[in-house]
Structure 1
């Protein structure tokens, strides 16, 4: 079995301390949550009895996150879960939840694939290249002004002319940006 496919074995000692068998050190619930977020499968077993305690600890991790205000599960979902433990629907709920989360994972995966297939969604917008060129010209003119800051500089007439050009370019950029925002809001 591949190393990534094999669950990370955590042993719980009688003192309730959790021991990572891979790294030979003690871990906390937050460490276990980090392993899971990184994509690792985790199995927690009682050292003395060999009982699988994974579900108990996963529920504890969820409860701690929820109590810190990291609310992921709406109250009505939690209420329905509690109800499912006392009704005949109990046998259907676990399969339904598993299927729902699998669909969610697949949907997220496909959405990320779709986003990565577009190099830049803004690039297809009309006028985007012109806006990019103007931004580059604006930055170039700004940088040119900084590079000559220590020199004697241009005369007053040239400086006034350059400032007028900069204001004109800036107003053109603002207008094009407003047009792009308007087009984006219509999409």
Structure 2
């Protein structure tokens, strides 16, 4: 069995079917997208020629998600990407995008670290622990699968404790707004 650090090798047969070499079964684009969301690197190669088809299939996954209305890339970004193929900026765009995503991952990790280690006067407020766990889970889900972007795990000991049943919804909303203000200041 291969390690999780090694890319998952997917072979494309002449029939265009995709074969997972670790589990010895056929997979779909959605399966490959799930592997990637789970943090796994993939490498897709043509069985006959040995050509690396990874980029082509990753672009196809993105195109399918965009066509289903899961718009992640704003129209102006897509337009600029198309323009970059026709200009000398083509050589700069990949480095810029890679650096931007790396900064996003680092910022998310740093924010998660700060949330976990910051002495916070709000920590004594009722429901704050649950609110903080919820925020961490949201950020982890939002950035899930990105290498180095998952941040610290929420405290498992406190994960089983739920806020008291009669908590006022307005108080929770107020606490959430205060937490968001504090995060935006970081």
TM-score band, normalised by shorter chain = 0.5 to 0.7
Counterpart CA distance in 2 for 1:4 and 1:80 is 35
Report the CA distance shift for 1:120/1:23 in structure 2 as closer, same or farther (over 3 A): farther
TM-score for both structures, normalised by structure 2: 0.66
Counterpart CA distance in 2 for 1:184 and 1:177 is 11
Cα-to-partner distance string for 1:141-186 (whole Å, 9 max, x where unaligned): xxxxxxxxxxxxxxxxxxxxxxxxxxxxxxxx97x959x76x9499
Equivalent residue for 2:96?
96
Counterpart CA distance in 2 for 1:37 and 1:177 is 34
What is the CA-CA distance between 1:110 and the residue it aligns to?
Answer: 1.1
Counterpart CA distance in 1 for 2:121 and 2:103 is 26
Structure that is richer in helix per residue: 1
What is the CA-CA distance between 1:119 and the residue it aligns to?
Answer: 8.3
Counterpart CA distance in 2 for 1:112 and 1:124 is 19
Counterpart CA distance in 2 for 1:10 and 1:177 is 50
Counterpart CA distance in 1 for 2:65 and 2:178 is 37
Equivalent residue for 1:29?
29
Report the CA distance shift for 1:66/1:3 in structure 2 as closer, same or farther (over 3 A): same
Equivalent residue for 1:3?
3
Unaligned runs of 5+ in 1: 130-134, 140-172
TM-score for both structures, normalised by structure 1: 0.66
Q: After superposition, where does 1:28-177 map in structure 2 within 5 Å?
A: 28-118=28-118, 122-124=122-124, 177=171
SS of residue matched to 2:11: strand
Counterpart CA distance in 2 for 1:177 and 1:36 is 38
Report the CA distance shift for 1:119/1:10 in structure 2 as closer, same or farther (over 3 A): farther
The structure with more radius of gyration: 1
What is the CA-CA distance between 1:111 and the residue it aligns to?
Answer: 1.2
Report the CA distance shift for 1:35/1:120 in structure 2 as closer, same or farther (over 3 A): farther
Matched residues, number: 142
What is the CA-CA distance between 1:48 and the residue it aligns to?
Answer: 0.4
Equivalent residue for 1:151?
none
